[in-house]
Structure 1
Amino acid sequence: MRFARIWQRLLGVERAVVEGVEFDSEAEVLVARVRPRKGASRRCGRCGRRASWYDRGEGRRRWRSLDLGPVKAVLEADAPRVNCREHGPTVIAVPWARHGAGHTRMFDDLVAWLAVHTSRTAVAQLMRVAWRTVGAIVTRVSRDASQVGDRLAGLRRIGIDELSYKKGHRYVTCVVDHDTGRLVWAAPGRDKATVGRFFDLLGPERSAMITHVSADGAEWIADVVDQRCPNAVRAADPFHVVAWATDALDQVRRDVWNTARGGRGGRATEASKALKNARWALWKDPDDLSQAQQARLDWIARTHPRLHRAWALKEGLRWVFQLSRQGLPRLAVTALDRWIGWARRCRIPAFVDLARRIVRHRNAIEVAIEHRLSNALVESVNTKLRLITRMAFGFHDPHALIGLAMLALGGLCPPLPARTRPA
């Protein structure tokens, strides 16, 4: 009896009975024969409800457990099926493993924890499993953890954005809770149907309780939010709005550069080379310019007034949001009005078009100014997701990447086996 309890602790099967332990010399694994305790037997593997006997299934099967030193360990037990009223013939639930898994819960949890804190290659080598197995375990653990509690309960202020995770326009749409800072939902896709699936899951009652939504100016987000969240105000992300101005400025710089070269296909000149290397001087915050970059900006002001005027327009729009961050929303709105008038009269086509675009998104921009709401938190999550994408290099299934993201950024990472403190 004493040795049986020791084996229960070593193998992590305290809710099961260890019938015997032997070493399989051919497979070089330690095999522990186990069975569920009487109270845990004959339950549906999907819902956990008691059900009547159906058949013996495929006989005995094995589950990979944590290694005992250099030796692999497996659990071996019968896997009969029960006739569940809801799910029909189903393999019985076992207390040491998740339904449909080939590994024990402790093994899954350790792999998931390692996948969050280290690279996938290191996890595969350390745990002696295949790359695809790591992705399957991450997806399984994340799905199991997300079923505990309601992650969408109490949502009031959310941010929506997309992340490119693979070449070929492969995107994942993410939803972040501004109040908790956690990733609450993610799904592959970048269109209205993808955002609609989130609000379908949220339901009409809870969608009506959303008060603030931050996003960029993408219409595939704005249209769905306006339709599904009647009581929410939609805020345009200041970073993306200023990025629109930066793109317009770069378009003007390229036009001036082409003119300095004598048109498309012309040869490079000293002036065109200087303009080509002036990109960072035009993009950066004026307070962060180096001495050489400041000198280049002064040269542009003397030799290319049109380009310098475009730079001033970009900085003027950035100043609007700086006023908002300083707690001066009324002054920021006034500055925005003046900026729109300036851009309309500037006779620079790129900024005239930008003024029209800002007028279209005027309400969302004013909400961002008034409530000081931005997508900075969502962009921070996206930056971490890009790091996770690099760590998870080789995941062919986006659901494995989403599962890893939910574990790392959604607060679903399990604790290490036999540890009480969460990761």
Structure 2
Amino acid sequence: MSSNVWLRAGGIGRTVAEQVYVHPIDPVVVVSVRPDRRWERRPRCGICCQGAPLYDRGRRRRWRSLDHGVLKVFLEAELPRVSCPVHGVVIAAVPWARHDAGHTRAFDEVVAWFALAAPKSVISTLLRINWHTVGAILARVMPDRDAEDGDRLDGIRRIGIDEVSFKKGQRYLTIVVDHDSGRLLFVTEGRSKDSVRRFFDALGPQRSRQVTHVSADGAAWIAPVLAERCPNAAVCLDPFHVVKWATDALDQVRRQVWNDARAAGMREHARALKDSRYALWKNPGDLTRRQQAKLSIIQATNKPLYRAYLLKEQLRAVFTPGGPERIGLLDAWLAWASRSRLAPFVELARTIRPRRAEIANTLAYGLSNGRIESMNQKIRLIIRRAYGFRSTPALIAITRLCLAGYARPLPGRAGLWRSGRV
């Protein structure tokens, strides 16, 4: 087989194949290669790819390439070292592989393409590589994706910020999503003010001031950074989390009245309150007949608990379609909750009152964290599909690859797809 065919089959350019042979011991194909003359004329640093004087001839090494049938294929070449004025003595760059990699660029791209939909176990079995090698390859591919696509944060105006748990032991990722395009803009490890600051550091001071809307869940570690970095943005408080606060307050009242009934020896009354959680939690239109009956019993026998239920429902009604005029309903709710004599709701009113402006923004602009919660579910699916990640950089790389618009066609087939031959 000609050397040109081997190079085309492996997706390798600017390279000359000198010899192709089957290894006498291992059942693998070895292709002895060297860079073409144009590349050899100017040795380059493997890290920054800038021209650098030759230091020594180095040693021969191999790179795993795309398989030929059932046979593994390796490229083999002498890898000299250069003396870079910035990075010192480092391995010279080669056209067929990334710096300090054991696989060719084409092999890395195939792994990245499979990672969009296949579990790591399937990729490692199909391509005959180690489980952890998949994550290392993805972390290697993403810097090139960033360089190819340029500045992906330009023109950002409306964003959403949230966190997602990825491992036991309070391990979180902070994510930022573009409301207009639906793309994942930024992901970093941690759940703190520093995590949010990293995004605005990447965005830059000028573009941070151009952000017009931010949706968040009311976390204490988000608001101070928003006030510091983009003070002119309208912060929108996510409705789901506000209603969840009311549901949690309702549950506190439910547990308290049930415990009070048991302590007072009112067994029949306590039994009537048993299994009432879902009847109180669910929306009225979703109740079963049994739950409707349970709610009727509560209305007739326990006024404080039913009052807590009505408070939860009125707060939920604030966020039903109707526009910014529904802020008056929120003011009425705050007044009612403050004098309800239900400690959890009195405390909730104290929590919500300083956030009235954020809720008003939510009602005016119709912005919520629904899109971000959807992104969180996709990230959890990626984690489950891979059976977890030991390396956080690998998790961040595959998350960005799948959700930030970095997808590429299967290497070597883009032209066929465009021409309609496949």
Q: TM-score, normalised by structure 2?
A: 0.93
For the residue of structure 2 that corresponds to 1:126, the secondary structure is helix
Distance 2:272 2:108 in 1: 57
Counterpart code for 1:84: C
- Is contact 1:112–1:138 with CA below 8 Å preserved after alignment? yes
Within the candidate set 316, 320, 325, 1:318 is matched to: 316
- Is contact 1:143–1:403 with CA below 8 Å preserved after alignment? no
TM superposition outliers: structure 1 runs of 4+ over 4 Å: 268-274
- The equivalent of 1:227 in structure 2 is 228
- C-alpha distance 275-388 of structure 1, shift in aligned 2 (>3 A): farther
Which one is further off, 130-139 or 81-90?
Answer: 81-90
Structure 2: stretches of 5+ with no match in the other structure? none
- C-alpha distance 270-9 of structure 1, shift in aligned 2 (>3 A): farther
- The equivalent of 1:386 in structure 2 is 380
- Is contact 1:109–1:415 with CA below 8 Å preserved after alignment? no
Distance 1:105 1:298 in 2: 67
Q: Offset at 1:196?
A: 1.2
1:281 aligns with 2:279: yes
1:342 aligns with 2:336: yes
1:356 aligns with 2:356: no
- The equivalent of 1:151 in structure 2 is 152
- The equivalent of 2:216 in structure 1 is 215
Distance 2:271 2:24 in 1: 72
- The equivalent of 1:411 in structure 2 is 405
- The equivalent of 2:172 in structure 1 is 171
Distance 2:111 2:218 in 1: 39
Q: TM-score, normalised by structure 1?
A: 0.93
- The equivalent of 2:97 in structure 1 is 97
Q: Offset at 1:295?
A: 1.9
Q: Offset at 1:87?
A: 2.5
1:8 aligns with 2:7: yes
Within the candidate set 302, 306, 324, 1:329 is matched to: 324
Cα-to-partner distance string for 1:143-185 (whole Å, 9 max, x where unaligned): 3212330121111111110111111111110011111101111
What is the count of residue pairs matched by the alignment? 413
Counterpart code for 1:22: Y
Q: Offset at 1:327?
A: 4.2
Q: Offset at 1:5?
A: 1.6
- The equivalent of 1:73 in structure 2 is 73
- Is contact 1:160–1:174 with CA below 8 Å preserved after alignment? yes
1:302-313 equivalences under 5 Å are 302-313=300-311
Which one is further off, 18-27 or 254-263?
Answer: 254-263
- C-alpha distance 271-129 of structure 1, shift in aligned 2 (>3 A): farther
Distance 1:38 1:275 in 2: 84
Distance 2:291 2:158 in 1: 40
Q: Offset at 1:304?
A: 2.1
- C-alpha distance 276-127 of structure 1, shift in aligned 2 (>3 A): farther
Q: Offset at 1:205?
A: 1.1
Q: Offset at 1:46?
A: 2.0
- C-alpha distance 327-56 of structure 1, shift in aligned 2 (>3 A): farther
Distance 2:120 2:12 in 1: 27
For the residue of structure 2 that corresponds to 1:32, the secondary structure is strand
Distance 1:244 1:23 in 2: 67
- Is contact 1:44–1:92 with CA below 8 Å preserved after alignment? yes
Distance 1:405 1:411 in 2: 10
- The equivalent of 1:160 in structure 2 is 161
- C-alpha distance 33-219 of structure 1, shift in aligned 2 (>3 A): same
Cα-to-partner distance string for 1:93-150 (whole Å, 9 max, x where unaligned): 2222122211111211121222220212111211111111111112112232123301
Q: Offset at 1:257?
A: 2.5
Counterpart code for 1:328: G
- Is contact 2:64–2:103 with CA below 8 Å preserved after alignment? yes
For the residue of structure 2 that corresponds to 1:8, the secondary structure is helix
- C-alpha distance 68-269 of structure 1, shift in aligned 2 (>3 A): farther
Q: Offset at 1:271?
A: 5.0
Cα-to-partner distance string for 1:285-322 (whole Å, 9 max, x where unaligned): 21122222222222222222211111111111111111
Counterpart code for 2:143: R
Cα-to-partner distance string for 1:62-89 (whole Å, 9 max, x where unaligned): 1111111111111111211222233332
- Is contact 2:237–2:359 with CA below 8 Å preserved after alignment? yes
1:255-274 equivalences under 5 Å are 255-262=256-263, 272=270
Structure 1: stretches of 5+ with no match in the other structure? none
Distance 1:297 1:6 in 2: 75
Percent identical pairs in the alignment equals 53
Distance 1:45 1:55 in 2: 14
Counterpart code for 2:254: R
1:11-90 equivalences under 5 Å are 11-41=10-40, 42-57=43-58, 59-90=59-90
1:372 aligns with 2:373: no
For the residue of structure 2 that corresponds to 1:117, the secondary structure is coil
Which one is further off, 275-284 or 121-130?
Answer: 275-284
- Is contact 1:333–1:369 with CA below 8 Å preserved after alignment? yes
- Is contact 2:3–2:20 with CA below 8 Å preserved after alignment? no
Q: Offset at 1:211?
A: 1.0
Q: Offset at 1:278?
A: 2.0
Cα-to-partner distance string for 1:48-71 (whole Å, 9 max, x where unaligned): 2222212223x1111111111111
Distance 1:131 1:303 in 2: 60
Counterpart code for 1:350: P
Distance 1:398 1:235 in 2: 30
- Is contact 1:392–1:401 with CA below 8 Å preserved after alignment? no
Counterpart code for 2:388: G
Q: Offset at 1:261?
A: 3.2
